[in-house]
Amino acid sequence: MAQFVLMHGAGATSSCWDLVTEHLEGTVLAVDLPGRGVHPAALNSLSLEGVAASVVADVTEAGLNDVVLVGHSLAGCSMPMVIDQLGNRIASVIFIACATPAEGESGADLAPDELRDQAQSQDATSSALSDEELMKMMLGVDLTDDELLWCVGRMVPEAPQLVTQPVPLAITSSHEPPRFWVRTMLDGLVDQETQLRFAARAGCTEVFDLDAGHMCMVSKPLELAAILNEVAARTE
């Protein structure tokens, strides 16, 4: 049976996956990254290394060994370290519209011009959400009004360093799990061509196109779950 570990993106908590988890075929662990949910911490104390260590600790505590690691958006910055540290406990990896910086780049370096300046602010998420146009770009033009409110009601301030810290990509593990990409075709935050470049940089061998905006787990939870289940079935 598949063992899914779900990593949320910027300004989110594990609750962003709530509409997807009931449709996944297997064990599901949706983690809260540090600074929110079950892992409260001072936002200015956080680092990508700390995020990776927290995810690995949660996976270890849950006793998971054949993990389908799934990450959304900013999770792409910390996923390489999680993959490296979990090693052969990972069966496959799925990136969903992720930020995948090159060595020495940060998530902020990949952000659209409209959001780059805000990335330096501890209150970046709240600042962006105060602007309706930016909010729709971040979350997705395909969301209904109710879905948009659902997303906004669950968002939290993000730790600035998780956005601005250069990403370390050094790999020490010899284990190379198969990697897949879910490309959100209506995404205003990470466009289609950029996602293909990011997928190649992440080492993904297959791209699944999903007719959804950035928060596809809210606008298309059934369709997203079907992709995750398919990958899990292939890599069991």
Q: CB of 127 within 8 A of CB of 97?
A: no
Q: CB of 143 within 8 A of CB of 152?
A: no
Residue in 205, 236, 213, 210 with CA at minimum distance from that of residue 225: 210
> At a CB cut-off of 8 Å and minimum separation 6, what does 216 contact?
96, 97, 140, 182, 184, 210, 223, 224
The values of phi and psi at residue 98, to 5°, are -85, 155
Give the C-alpha separation, 164 to 152, whole Å. 23
How does pLDDT run along the chain (236 residues), one tens digit per residue? 899 999 999 999 999 999 999 999 999 999 999 999 999 999 999 999 999 999 999 999 999 999 999 999 999 999 999 999 999 999 999 999 999 998 889 998 887 765 655 544 444 444 444 566 777 778 998 999 999 999 989 999 999 889 999 998 766 778 899 999 999 999 988 999 999 999 999 999 999 999 999 999 999 999 999 999 999 999 88
Count of domains for the chain: 1
CATH number, domain of 227, equals 3.40.50.1820
Question: 183 is written with which tokens?
Answer: 């490309």
Give the C-alpha separation, 236 to 67, whole Å. 9
Q: CB of 164 within 8 A of CB of 119?
A: yes
Residue 159 structural domain: 2-234
